[in-house]
């Protein structure tokens, strides 16, 4: 770790972000599930649509995306896939900012989402007006925001980043002597600051799922499974990140299960990711990192309740009715695209280098 002296958590009052209750739904009988999948496949063909699912959605939705020639990916790759694919309608199984990002990068296409109420605590804790006013009070800082933000917040930023590119980009800015205003995830911001030594003023938002992982209980689990590699998403608290063998984006963690020789893995991210990990590395044992501890509540189950709103029933309904369309004002989309494009250009220079 480099420098811890120039990281400051912004003193702002965050709005509450309360996830919906985790409904315990009886799983659908196989015949009903198969019938729903057939309806969705038919509607995808008829509507010239492609299904893109995030790694945190339910396994059935992910499997259907792959079976129908769509993709299972992180938010940025979903948007990129949508741009490359010839379909005129993109169906985004994920949360609202993902639908918006797809629309921003594919303004001429129709973007549908199974449930428009599916949001993200990071997005909810960073309302555009509050964030913009805060940026105005710190004009000497470059504004770097994480992808988990609204179109308005992206439009206010100089740079948008994903967890995969946050480190090299902040390092690049720090090397140029830039001071940074970072939002909205406090844990990812702190992680990046420690590794880069950048001067960062950090918005104090957090992911309600990753924030629940507990360092003490993880230490105990590691002792019980000495052969396990610990894989951690950097939206997790510092004490959890500090115990990781690999810290990285969803894509990087999936890759680690596939490539590392360990027979077991302790995984600190949404357990929806296990679907993909099991397929790529069927012989490996996957354990959920402990969350919640004594304060455990329904947010401590390592599964995002908003992601869970993407059900097969809702997918069929939006495709058949044409409802659930994500709309982003063209002028706003144009402004939000600028910092996203900067990130994509920066990523391209990294690849070349
Ligand atoms: S898992 Fe966390 S970061 Fe991802 S959508 Fe849910 S609340 Fe947002």
| pLDDT (mean) for 72-93 | 93
Phi, psi of 200 (to 5 degrees): -125, 130
Pocket of ligand 1 contains residue 304 by CB under 6 Å: yes
DSSP state at residue 213? B
Q: Which residue out of 18, 56, 211 has the highest number of ligand 1 atoms within 8 Å of its CB and is therefore the one to mutate?
A: 56
pLDDT in tens, 308-341: 999 999 999 999 998 999 999 999 999 999 999 9
| pLDDT (mean) for 103-113 | 96
Pocket of ligand 1 contains residue 91 by CB under 6 Å: no
CA angle (158, 132, 104) in 5-degree steps? 55
Token pair 């115990």 is found at: 243
Gap between the Cα atoms of 304 and 94, Å rounded: 10
Would you state the pLDDT for residue 20? 86
| pLDDT (mean) for 95-107 | 96
pTM of the complete model: 0.95
| More confident site: 108 or 3 | 108
| pLDDT (mean) for 160-174 | 96
| pLDDT (mean) for 228-252 | 97
Would you state the pLDDT for residue 301? 80
Gap between the Cα atoms of 315 and 154, Å rounded: 27
Please, are residues 231 and 37 in contact by the beta-carbon 8 Å criterion?
no
Beta strands in 217-323, from DSSP E residues, in sequence order: 228-232, 246-247, 264-268, 285-288
Would you state the pLDDT for residue 27? 83
What are the structural domains, with CATH classification, of the chain? Answer: 8-18+124-208 (3.40.50.10800), 30-121+307-332 (3.40.50.10800), 210-288 (3.40.50.10800)
Ligand 1 midpoint to CA 42 (Å): 30
Would you state the pLDDT for residue 34? 96
What is the helix (H) or strand (E) element at residue 71, kind and residue range? strand 71-73
pLDDT in tens, 111-126: 999 999 999 999 999 9
Which residue minimizes the CA distance to atom 7 of ligand 1?
Answer: 120
Ligand 1 midpoint to CA 14 (Å): 16
CA angle (288, 292, 295) in 5-degree steps? 160
Pocket of ligand 1 contains residue 120 by CB under 6 Å: yes
For residue 297, pLDDT beyond 60:
no
Gap between the Cα atoms of 20 and 87, Å rounded: 32
Instruction: Using pLDDT thresholds of 50, 70 and 90, give the confidence band for residue 1.
Output: low
Would you state the pLDDT for residue 298? 54
For residue 299, pLDDT beyond 70:
no
Gap between the Cα atoms of 329 and 231, Å rounded: 39
For residue 251, pLDDT beyond 90:
yes
Which residue minimizes the CA distance to atom 6 of ligand 1?
Answer: 304
**Ligand 1 closest atom vs CA 121:** 7
CA angle (303, 195, 223) in 5-degree steps? 55
Bond preceding residue 299 cis, omega within 30 of 0: no
Pocket of ligand 1 contains residue 209 by CB under 6 Å: yes
| pLDDT (mean) for 141-149 | 97
Q: What is the mean pLDDT of the chain?
A: 94
Ligand 1 midpoint to CA 95 (Å): 8
Which residue minimizes the CA distance to atom 3 of ligand 1?
Answer: 207
Pocket of ligand 1 contains residue 17 by CB under 6 Å: no
pLDDT in tens, 4-25: 556 789 889 999 898 888 766 7
For residue 293, pLDDT beyond 70:
no
Which residue minimizes the CA distance to atom 1 of ligand 1?
Answer: 304
Locate 33 and state its tokens: 């599930």
| More confident site: 322 or 208 | 208
For residue 31, pLDDT beyond 90:
yes
Gap between the Cα atoms of 202 and 183, Å rounded: 6
Gap between the Cα atoms of 116 and 324, Å rounded: 6
Pocket of ligand 1 contains residue 306 by CB under 6 Å: yes
What is the helix (H) or strand (E) element at residue 253, kind and residue range? helix 250-259
Chain-centre distance for alpha carbon 158 = 20
Gap between the Cα atoms of 338 and 62, Å rounded: 30
Pocket of ligand 1 contains residue 152 by CB under 6 Å: no
Pocket of ligand 1 contains residue 207 by CB under 6 Å: yes
Please, are residues 110 and 325 in contact by the beta-carbon 8 Å criterion?
yes
| pLDDT (mean) for 58-81 | 94
> What are the CA-CA distances from residue 336 to residues 74, 156, 340 (Å)?
19, 8, 7
| More confident site: 117 or 298 | 117
Ligand 1 midpoint to CA 209 (Å): 6
Please, are residues 114 and 315 in contact by the beta-carbon 8 Å criterion?
yes
Pocket of ligand 1 contains residue 122 by CB under 6 Å: yes
Q: What is the DSSP string of 2-59?
A: ---TTEEE----PPP--PPP---PPPPPHHHHHHHHHHHHHHHHHTTEEEEEETTS-H
Which residue minimizes the CA distance to atom 4 of ligand 1?
Answer: 120
What is the helix (H) or strand (E) element at residue 155, kind and residue range? helix 151-156
Would you state the pLDDT for residue 18? 86
Please, are residues 201 and 217 in contact by the beta-carbon 8 Å criterion?
no
| pLDDT (mean) for 263-275 | 97
Pocket of ligand 1 contains residue 188 by CB under 6 Å: no
Gap between the Cα atoms of 7 and 242, Å rounded: 17
Pocket of ligand 1 contains residue 201 by CB under 6 Å: no
């Amino acid at each position: 770790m480099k420098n811890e002296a120039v990281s400051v958590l912004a003193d702002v009052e965050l709005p509450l972000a309360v996830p919906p209750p985790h409904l315990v739904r009886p799983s659908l009988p196989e015949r009903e599930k198969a019938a729903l999948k057939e309806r969705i496949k038919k509607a995808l063909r008829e509507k010239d649509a492609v299904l893109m699912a995030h790694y945190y959605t339910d396994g059935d939705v992910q499997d259907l995306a792959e079976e129908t020639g769509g993709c299972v990916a992180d938010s940025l790759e979903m948007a990129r896939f949508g741009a490359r694919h010839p379909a005129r309608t993109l169906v985004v199984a994920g949360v609202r900012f993902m639908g918006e990002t797809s629309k921003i990068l594919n303004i001429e296409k129709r973007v549908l989402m199974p449930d428009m109420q599916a949001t993200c605590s990071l997005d909810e804790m960073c309302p555009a007006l509050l964030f913009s006013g805060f940026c105005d009070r710190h004009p000497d800082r470059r504004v770097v925001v994480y992808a988990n933000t609204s179109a308005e917040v992206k439009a206010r930023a100089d740079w948008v980043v994903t967890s995969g590119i946050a480190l090299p980009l902040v390092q690049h800015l720090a090397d140029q002597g830039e001071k940074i205003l970072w939002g909205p995830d406090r844990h990812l911001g702190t992680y990046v600051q420690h590794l880069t030594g950048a001067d960062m003023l950090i918005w104090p938002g957090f992911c309600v799922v990753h924030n629940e992982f507990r360092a003490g209980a993880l230490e105990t689990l590691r002792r019980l499974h000495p052969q396990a590699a610990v894989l951690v998403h950097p939206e997790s608290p510092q004490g959890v990140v500090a115990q990781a063998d690999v810290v990285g984006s969803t894509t990087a963690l999936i890759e680690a299960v596939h490539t590392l020789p360990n027979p077991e893995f302790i995984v600190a991210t949404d357990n929806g990711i296990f679907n993909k990990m099991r397929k790529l590395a069927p012989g490996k044992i996957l354990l959920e990192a402990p969350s919640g501890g004594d304060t455990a509540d329904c947010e401590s189950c390592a599964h995002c309740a908003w992601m869970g709103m993407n059900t097969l029933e809702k997918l069929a309904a939006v495709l058949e009715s044409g409802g659930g369309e994500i709309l982003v004002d063209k002028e706003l989309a144009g402004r939000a695209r600028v910092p996203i494009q900067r990130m994509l250009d920066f990523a391209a220079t990294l690849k070349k280098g």
